Structure 1
Amino acid sequence: MAKKKASPKSDHSSVLRRHAEDQFAEELAEIAKVDDRQRPPNWRLSPWAVVTYLLGEPLDNGFQVSPKYVGSRRLMEVAVATLATDRALLLLGVPGTAKTWVSEHLAAAISGDSTLLVQGTAGTAEEAIRYGWNYALLLAKGPTSEALVPSPVMTAMQRGQIARVEELTRMPSDVQDTLITVLSEKTVPIPELGDECPAEKGFNVIATANNRDKGVNELSSALKRRFNTVVLPPPKTAEEEIQIVEQRVASLGRALELPSEAAAIEEIRRVVTVFRELRDGATEDGKTKLKSPSGTLSTAEAISVVNSGVALAAHFGEGHLTATDVASGLTGAVVKDPVQDVIVWREYLETVVKERDGWKDLYRACREQL
């Protein structure tokens, strides 16, 4: 059966999730207009402009750049400065701390292309880092440059762009170690052709790793030395986390064309409060100690809970977000272990949610889910 021809890259009308360089093309173009600072070789923007794109702020011409990352400016400055050197960047953190999101936007702003991506899994092979072969051509003509299939990392080296490696610690150790030559020598040897692929100026690697995966396939000391590690923490304050959830839910709602009003800020605040209290093992005022469930209860999961609630409200509810709409998603996010987490969740509902002023509707809606 013939495959449906892919739409041209310039046509994004039916794309569910656009790449950062496409979704924020106008912002990147406006920043480039006012960016008169020094740019490293092959960079689309200066380091200052990249940080401006990530954190969002009004430009001198009045154009408002939207924030992509809510958090420490210094962390983003360190990350961008690292990529301007010969050191690779490792973004480390618990699940849901925007590692992949930051990685994509860094590549989009620096190279104009965030698609040179290697997804790390237990089955990732060396070819994903180095190169593979078109076996039909290999059998017909033997090892030739035409038969060689470059990996995303090799392509980034050839173009002088940023390559992204997701979930680095999920990859087998021997595959991880293929990065050592790439990062130290800035070349990929091709012994079958008696040749090599040297990196053009501008090439670098952004890797992400989940620090809860320590020990899965821990990085070797040699590989760790090739990276500068930036730890992305969870949002420091509830207001930061609420802002992140509100922005991402609004963006996802537009992409999914949900026929709903903007998510109610009060419901977002309650979801974020529940997540933060259960994560921290204590109520906001510190007066009540709580048991924490087995899940991570990350900001990304809070976004998912609210977004699911918005969809329920739009298609089956009153058109605006209520406690009933978020209750099922909230329960599903907390209860990962059907025995242990149910006990933790029930206790939290009875001792905190039930007694909190204005939360009776959320208490009743969540109790109905158990």
Structure 2
Amino acid sequence: MTVPETGADTGTEALRPHAEDAFARELQALDRADDRPRPARWRLSPWAVATYLLGGALPDGTVITPKYVGPRRLVEVAVSTLATDRALLLLGVPGTAKTWVSEHLAAAVSGDSTLLVQGTAGTPEEAIRYGWNYARLLAHGPSRDALVPSPVMRAMSGGTTARIEELTRIPADVQDSLITILSEKTLPIPELGQEVQAVRGFNLIATANDRDRGVNDLSSALRRRFNTVVLPLPASAEAEVDIVSRRVGQLGRSLDLPAAPEGIDEIRRVVTVFRELRDGVTSDGRTRIKSPSGTLSTAEAISVVTNGLALAAHFGDGVLRSGDVAAGIHGAVVRDPAADRVVWQEYLETVVRERDGWKDFYRACREVSA
């Protein structure tokens, strides 16, 4: 899962700097300390890439902040995959940090996380292969000068890492344009009678959402070209609280909001509510409850708390309280006004109302739900 950028570099006005810019000092420190073998055109060794994602301390005392909290072996498998000629597919439910991990992997491996194709139902084949500058095409005919390379083509030419987000949102016939790229490591340009061959160092990271199964499932031929790593939800409530509080702290600093530790109790409540509704059982295992239609991911918990901090800062006393997060929780849980509203009301009355120390939270949620 994602964790905050507590060690992120500052000095930029970008609202959300790219990973290689936000963590430039950490990447430079790892580069200096890294004496292990590096695959062709990699900025760091596989060991250093894993350390960058998982965090650690270097011999010179530099602290590398963790970018992902989860099983170490998953990160090692992902990094090892990129060191081979197999592409990497990060799979998981919404909010499990697939995009975040892919960005940081590309930043650590290639020093550039911006070679990105955003998958949607309308993504054309040109976004993966190449397009044309039609002014030049009409004026001079087909030529390399008239060709507009896709991020994937640029990565092939430069021996770097390309990223494709939400691969299963892309139409199946467009997905299959990747097969030749991943199997033959070439991209034919029939209009010119040429091809682009991938140079050493090229690889591709794709992400896909478990909830999109059945939308545009990968063909068996394409799936065989990927090694799949499934990113899980946080294993424990404390781990999820830590992730949310750290990430909210980083976001809060960038937005000049109050420090998250001031509202750690509310963060713990939000995480508890999300986990219980997600799992269909209370944290003590004694009461079965219905689950709403939404995913209630860690990313959504971060959003709820960050919005609550904004309310506390601009319309309260700066301290995160139950009333600040109640509306956000209601909006995250009640996606289907009919079915989810019943689930939420039942949870409030049978679980939250009876829980010691949660009276203020119960009243705030009831007020919003009324």
TM-score range, shorter-chain basis?
over 0.9
- Is 1:132 the counterpart of 2:131 in the alignment? yes
- Is 1:82 the counterpart of 2:91 in the alignment? no
2:212 aligned partner = 213
1:159 aligned partner = 158
1:7 aligned partner = none
Q: Closer, same or farther in 2 for the Cα pair 1:49/1:304, shift >3 Å?
A: same
- In 2, Cα distance between equivalents of 1:18 and 1:256: 14
SS at 1:127's partner residue? helix
Q: Is the 8 A contact 1:104 1:114 kept in 2?
A: yes
1:72 aligned partner = 71
SS at 2:329's partner residue? helix
Q: 2:245 is matched by which residue type in structure 1?
A: E
- In 1, Cα distance between equivalents of 2:273 and 2:63: 32
- In 1, Cα distance between equivalents of 2:70 and 2:10: 33
Instruction: State the Cα distance separating 1:261 from its structure 2 match.
Output: 5.9
- In 2, Cα distance between equivalents of 1:131 and 1:16: 30
Q: Is the 8 A contact 2:188 2:194 kept in 1?
A: yes
Q: 1:63 is matched by which residue type in structure 2?
A: T
Q: Closer, same or farther in 2 for the Cα pair 1:233/1:261, shift >3 Å?
A: closer
- In 2, Cα distance between equivalents of 1:342 and 1:52: 44
Q: Closer, same or farther in 2 for the Cα pair 1:122/1:54, shift >3 Å?
A: same
User: What CA deviation, in whole Å up to 9, does each residue of 1:148-202 have, x standing for no partner?
Assistant: 0000000011111100000000000010000000000111111111111111111
- In 1, Cα distance between equivalents of 2:201 and 2:245: 35
Q: Is the 8 A contact 2:121 2:171 kept in 1?
A: yes
RMSD over equivalenced CA pairs, Å: 1.3
- In 2, Cα distance between equivalents of 1:280 and 1:256: 32
- In 2, Cα distance between equivalents of 1:139 and 1:309: 54
Q: Is the 8 A contact 2:41 2:160 kept in 1?
A: yes
Q: 1:38 is matched by which residue type in structure 2?
A: P
SS at 1:338's partner residue? coil
| TM-score between both structures, scaled by the size of structure 1 | 0.96
List alignment gaps of at least 5 residues for structure 2: 1-8
- In 2, Cα distance between equivalents of 1:239 and 1:67: 16
1:116 aligned partner = 115
How high is the sequence identity, in percent, across the aligned residues?
72
1:5 aligned partner = none
| TM-score between both structures, scaled by the size of structure 2 | 0.96
2:56 aligned partner = 57
2:342 aligned partner = 343
User: What CA deviation, in whole Å up to 9, does each residue of 1:11-59 have, x standing for no partner?
Assistant: 9632111100001111111111111000000000000000000011111
- In 2, Cα distance between equivalents of 1:92 and 1:260: 32
User: What CA deviation, in whole Å up to 9, does each residue of 1:290-332 have, x standing for no partner?
Assistant: 0000000000000000000011111111101111111110111
- In 1, Cα distance between equivalents of 2:35 and 2:124: 42
Q: Is the 8 A contact 1:97 1:298 kept in 2?
A: yes
Number of equivalences: 361
- In 2, Cα distance between equivalents of 1:208 and 1:342: 32
- In 2, Cα distance between equivalents of 1:347 and 1:57: 44
- In 2, Cα distance between equivalents of 1:261 and 1:232: 26
- Is 1:366 the counterpart of 2:361 in the alignment? no
- In 2, Cα distance between equivalents of 1:82 and 1:240: 27
